[in-house]
Amino acid sequence: MSDEKSTDTIHKTPQTSPRQSATFDEYTNSEIRRAAATGIYDIRGGGSKRKLPHFDDLLFLGASVSRYPLEGYREKCGTDVVLGTRFAKKPIYLKTPVTIAGMSFGSLSGPTKEALGRGASAVGTSTTTGDGGMTPEERGHSTTLVYQYLPSRYGMNPDDLRKADAIEVVIGQGAKPGGGGMLLGQKITKRVAKMRCLPEGIDQRSACRHPDWTGPDDLEIKIAEIREITDWEKPIYVKIGATRPYFDVALAVKAGADVVVLDGMQGGTAATQEVFIEHVGLPILAAIRPAVQALQDLGMHRKVQLIVSGGIRNGADVAKALALGADAVAIGTAALIALGDNDPHLEKEYRKLGTTAGAYDDWHEGKDPAGITTQDPELMKRVDPIKAGHRLANYITVMTMEAQIVARACGKSHLHNLEPEDLVALTIEASAMAQVPLAGTSWIPGVTKF
């Protein structure tokens, strides 16, 4: 009998393991169900979450027989950067190339803006306003404040323009190049509404185009107007989302920019459509070299400074961005995490919101348990601007030191001496995008023959 039984088992038709589709994966299916139930696209904050070719796909070669390294902790490796040397009477001097990206009061709470100002000022770098104008808190706590001049012109007034240390004409951002914004009614408190001249509690649309100019020739006149108003004192940045970086950078230079800010698709937004975030624009890795090429072709590299942003997380990313030709970087999402955003100690509260620490991105709903992306007066009390600012300062200090460690290992006495020659790529894609050789070869796809 027992022999018969075991024979049956052997001859039973074998089953394959349940197999999930790589195309219709768990997230995709959940989005189909969500769209089917609601009839409306998904809105969220943050930048692209998909895996993209990024700085992790690059490695520094370091010094060896053919290159001299510099002594760690002993030999100087400069980190300072001067922005706005082209036309401005008063360029900006920063101690670190890590700056804080534009983020608005409205999307962020008042204490968060204050914390950003405190942290950045402590380490000698700049913060940037956002849509909705400049708050006194922000000006007061930021030694160097860049004032964004946006299509919506919410809260824009010439007194603030004059109070700023630099002005950033925003044409686009990496999360949504070609798109405007939407701040939903729950975040339009009395104060936010007043600053934006809109009724309290309504959904507020931020324009995607500037109201009084179109095209690069007009931009040139607009920049001249801002220079005239500020008596040619302030550096004027032009911020673009990474799409056609070679042409856009060239046109920004032609229009008279002192500094170009180039934001990749990993750069965050307060709120926009998921489809926009994930499917429009370029990862920053693919955008830096064409941007630098445009500057070099015009003889303006290092004369018009380039700030890059979108997924900068650590000193290695900073060093790699600079090695590819940028003068400085900007951090947004990383700065918020340093302040306490998406922290695991709030896991219970993230669970209540149907998410988990690290994945929370419904910033537009104003329910952020960390008190950062909210206007809720109770929630925002959770941000202690002094402590959070201290954490941000620590984080930027670490990033700067990490970049120095890498630069010294490459034999560079200043972060700006890093160069593409110091890098290789781990993947063919990254090699082609960053225009550095595939590791172990001399091959750069599109540049040299294999």
Partner 1 sequence: METLKFDLDTKSLREVNQFLHGDASGLNGKSIVIENPNGAHNIAVGLKAELDVTIKGHAGYYAAGMNQIAKVTIEGSAGSGVAENMMSGHVHVKGFASNAAGATANGGLLVIDGDAGLRCAIALKGADIVVGGSVGSFSAFMAQAGNFVILGDAGEGLGDSIYEAKVFVRGKVKSLGADCEEKTMNAEDRQILADLLKKSGYADVSPDSFKQYGSARTLYHFHVDNAGAY
By CB under 8 A, tell whether 273 contacts partner 1: no
Strand segments, DSSP code E, in 27-83 are 43-46, 58-60, 81-83
By CB under 8 A, tell whether 208 contacts partner 1: no
Query: Among 97, 58, 143, which residue's Cα sits nearest to residue 402?
Result: 97
- Tokens 């500020």, located at residue: 230
Minimum distance from CB of 212 to partner 1 (Å)? Answer: 4
Q: For residue 372, give the amino acid letter.
A: I
Binding residue for partner 1, selected from 48, 129, 144, 152, defined by CB under 8 A: 152
The alpha carbon torsion through 172, 173, 176, 182 (nearest 10 deg) reads -80
Give dist(CA 165, CA 143) in Å, integer: 9
Under the phi-then-psi rule, with left for phi > 0, alpha for psi from -120 to 50, and beta for the rest, what region is 266?
Answer: alpha
By CB under 8 A, tell whether 218 contacts partner 1: yes
Dihedral sign, CA of 223, 224, 228, 233? positive
Mark 26-45 with x for binding to partner 1 (rule: CB under 8 A) and - for no binding.
------------xxx-----
Instruction: Tell me which stretch binds partner 1 (CB under 8 A): 23-31, 206-214, 385-393, 434-442.
Output: 206-214
The encoded tokens of residue 238 equal: 């032009």
The encoded tokens of residue 371 equal: 């008190």
Minimum distance from CB of 135 to partner 1 (Å)? Answer: 17
Instruction: Tell me which stretch binds partner 1 (CB under 8 A): 207-215, 291-299, 399-407, 409-417.
Output: 207-215
Helices (H), 79-233: 110-122, 136-141, 158-163, 190-196, 215-229
Binding residue for partner 1, selected from 122, 224, 398, 401, defined by CB under 8 A: 224
DSSP 3-state assignment of 189?
A: coil
Instruction: Tell me which stretch binds partner 1 (CB under 8 A): 73-81, 100-108, 165-173, 226-234.
Output: 226-234
By CB under 8 A, tell whether 197 contacts partner 1: yes
Instruction: Tell me which stretch binds partner 1 (CB under 8 A): 108-116, 205-213, 409-417, 439-447.
Output: 205-213
By CB under 8 A, tell whether 212 contacts partner 1: yes
Task: Using CB under 8 A, count the residues that bind partner 1.
Answer: 34
By CB under 8 A, tell whether 66 contacts partner 1: no
Binding residue for partner 1, selected from 187, 222, 234, 289, defined by CB under 8 A: 222
Q: For residue 183, give the amino acid letter.
A: L
CA 397 from centre of chain: 18
By CB under 8 A, tell whether 358 contacts partner 1: no
Note the residues at the interface with partner 1 (CB under 8 A). Answer: 38-40, 152-153, 156-159, 161, 182, 184-185, 196-199, 202-203, 205, 207, 211-213, 218, 221-222, 224-225, 228-232
